[in-house]
Every structure is written in structure tokens, then in C-alpha cells.
Structure 1
Amino acid sequence: MLMNIPVLTIDGPSGAGKGTVSRIVAKKLGWNYLDSGSIYRSLAIALLQKNVDLSNEIETLKVAQTLDLAFECDDGLIVKLNGQDITSQLVTEATGNVASIVAAIPEVRQVLLQKQKDFKKPPGLVADGRDMGTVVFPDADFKVYLTASATKRAERRYKQLMEKGIDVNILQITSEIEARDCRDKERLTAPLVQAVDALFIDSSAMTIDAVIAQVLSLVPQR
């Protein structure tokens, strides 16, 4: 039964390291992995490809309803939209900004909610996002809220994009991260907030290994 499948949620703002930590933790546990942000970012790419006016919620919703996504996990996460590998496009600031905007639309969130719930399969699930522990999996067995200062998150994103050959401005990244934080925390539907029963981790001065060890300490040896 689904209720017997353990779930670990890792929520937090953009750039806090949720994706890296979640993927490694899922691999160590041998559990399934859900990157909810990739679902919203994939929708953003689909909207950008179709040149949809983001103020047109009806057209935005239509694209969300027909979203054809496939996730492949090997050494990393590969995301395919209509059979096309869009993984490299997921990390761009343009994609992230559009994803943050459409994620604030209640009807869009409702359409994508079931897509996320469907990832809950044996032997367990590690889910990362903004509202995994508060909305999507409120009854999750283990919850983490992972954050870091906006400055540190901007530094990490800058390094990540530069390594991919994408020329960016760190001041612009910092500004966009702060603006995204405000949108995510102030939206009326499923705002970014720490679940009351979540473990709070500030990764600003922590190594990835230290964060992973702290997260794994939540889950009993299985």
C-alpha cells in the first residue's frame, strides 16, 4: 500500500543545494527521486518554446495539462520534454524565473500535483522542492528544510552556470534569487515555508557531505 512507502521531503529556496543533496541521499537509500522543480522548469521551457504570454493563464494551463515529461536518472537527472532532452535548459535563469511565475498560479499547481504524487513508489521516495513537506506529501515520514544565505546561493549558481559555459552576472543572479524568494514566500498558493516538523539546516557554511550526513541521520537503517 502507498501509505507504507516512506517519504523524505527536502524543501527550501532556490540554490540551497536541495537537488544535489536529494539525489545523493536517494542513491544511498536506494529510493526513488522527485525533483519537483524540474517539473515546473520543464513547463517553463514548454511555455517559452510556444511563446505563450504568461499573463494568459488559460493558455498556460493548457500547456500544463498536455505536458509530456520523462525523467531518467543515472549519474545525473535527464529530463525529456516531448522526447527532447532539455536538461541543459533547466538551469538557466530565464527558465527559473518563468517557473517561479507559473508556480504561483493555483490551477497550474493543481494540474502538476498528481504528477508529483505519482513518484511515490516502493521502496521509498526522496522529494525536493518548495512545498513537498507542506502540500504534496504533508504526511511524509521525514522532512528537511534546507536553506542558505542569498549571497552564498548566488555564488553557487554563478559557479554552476560559468562551468557550463553560460556567461552571467553575479549581481544580477543575486537580485533574481532575492526576487524569486519573495515570490515563492508570498504567493497565496503553497508558499515556501518550513514545515513545523521539518529539520532546519542552513548550508551556508557547510560542505555537501556534512549536509548529506545530517539528512541521512533522520532515516533509520533499513
Structure 2
Amino acid sequence: MVAERLGWRLLDSGALYRAVGYAAGMAGLDLSDVEAVTRCAQGTKIQFRAAADGGETRVIVNGHDATDELRTETAGAAASAIASMPSVREALVALQLGFRKLPGLVADGRDMGTVIFPDAQYKVFLTASAVERAKRRYKQLKEKGLSVTLAGLQREIEARDSRDASRAVAPLKPAADALLVDTTGMGIDEVVAKVFAVVQP
């Protein structure tokens, strides 16, 4: 919503890692095989396509619209696992940097302000309790007709947070100059307003 209102490009870096994890899974790769997953990251073709009706941006992986599959917690767990691999991260850095073009870019991701775009003019670190994020994800996935449990989602989110915060490469942490916004209990419009207060004070 922020990128759309500003007329800027959008980079969902999490979708890139989910896409590689998805492609690796479809190829039957062992996600602990660093060399194989790195080759997969280097060879996977990922495209973002704006929906004609202004809806959710579609993610095309090797010619297949994998948007719905990428939003599952299985894809999130795969993304978290491969995101700890330096060679995979290196393979995706150039792709991410290529999104930075005029008039501007909204980059959404766990290391955007610390690793990929440390010189970004505006940095906002959004957080929320694991319970809150599980409720949001539960609502999203149930609307897509997927069978999930709230407790299971919360466990997966907490495990992912722990993995991402403790990994040696690009651990999950806010940039020193980022504005921290706890979105627990907030609606989407309130969160967007908080971000706009930073970008357009």
C-alpha cells in the first residue's frame, strides 16, 4: 500500500527466498545441500507482476504463478532455512539491488536496512508479537481455504524468529537508525499512516 500510494517500486525480499525454497522443493532438492540450493538460487527465474485488478502482486517462479504456495508456512520455513546460507544470499543480492530505481523503492525484508540498503534514506522496522502475527497469518491462509491451526502458526513463527535472529549471516535485527514500530493491535491503515509519517513528515 505504501509503494502504491507513493508511486514507487516494491521489493518483497521474503518472496525471493520463498521462491527459491519453493523451486528447490519442486526440484526435489535437500534444503541442507548448500551447493544444490545455491545453484537453484542462481538459476531460478523470479518475476513480480502487478495484478490487473490492483490486487495482490503475483510472484512467477520459473514461469509458474506460485503466489499462493509462497504464502504458506511451509514456504516460510524453507525460506528461513536457506536464508542462512551465505552463497544463496549472495546469489540474490544483485537481484535485490536491481530494484533500486527512480522514483523510489519500498523494500520489505528482514535485512533491507542493515545489509541490502544500509544507505536508505528512510528505515522503518515493523514488529508485532508472535501471537498477533499468527492471528494475521491465520486469517490470510483461511481466506485462501488452507487448513492451518493458530497454535501451529505461532510455533512456526517463533521458531523462524529464533533461527533468523541467531544466524551468523545477516541476522534479524533493526538498523541502528531505524524507527521501530510495534504494530501489535494496529490495523493496516494505522500502520501505513505510521510509515507515511516517516516518509512524508
Q: Give the 4+ runs in structure 1 shifted more than 4 A.
A: none
Highest RCO, 1 vs 2 (Cα 8 Å, sep ≥ 6): 1
For 2:8, the aligned partner's letter is W
Q: Deviations over 1:110-151 (max 9, x none)?
A: 110110000001100000000000000000000000000001
Report deviation, 1:220.
3.3
Aligned to 2:99: 119
Provide the rounded CA distance (Å) in 2 between the counterparts of 1:154 and 1:34.
23
| TM-score (ref. length: structure 2) | 0.96
| Aligned: 1:156 with 2:133 | no
Aligned to 1:213: 193
Structure 1 residues 27-176: aligned runs within 5 Å: 27-74=4-51, 75=54, 76-176=56-156
How many residues end up aligned between the 2 structures? 198
Unpaired segments ≥5 residues, structure 1? 1-23
Q: Deviations over 1:166-192 (max 9, x none)?
A: 011111111110000001100000011
Provide the rounded CA distance (Å) in 1 between the counterparts of 2:153 and 2:199.
34
Aligned to 1:14: none
Unpaired segments ≥5 residues, structure 2? none
For 2:22, the aligned partner's letter is I
Q: Deviations over 1:142-168 (max 9, x none)?
A: 000000000111111111111110011
- Superposition CA RMSD, Å: 0.9
Provide the rounded CA distance (Å) in 1 between the counterparts of 2:50 and 2:167.
31
For 2:154, the aligned partner's letter is T
Provide the rounded CA distance (Å) in 1 between the counterparts of 2:140 and 2:65.
19
Provide the rounded CA distance (Å) in 1 between the counterparts of 2:181 and 2:22.
31
Provide the rounded CA distance (Å) in 1 between the counterparts of 2:32 and 2:186.
40
Provide the rounded CA distance (Å) in 2 between the counterparts of 1:174 and 1:36.
22
Provide the rounded CA distance (Å) in 2 between the counterparts of 1:177 and 1:70.
26
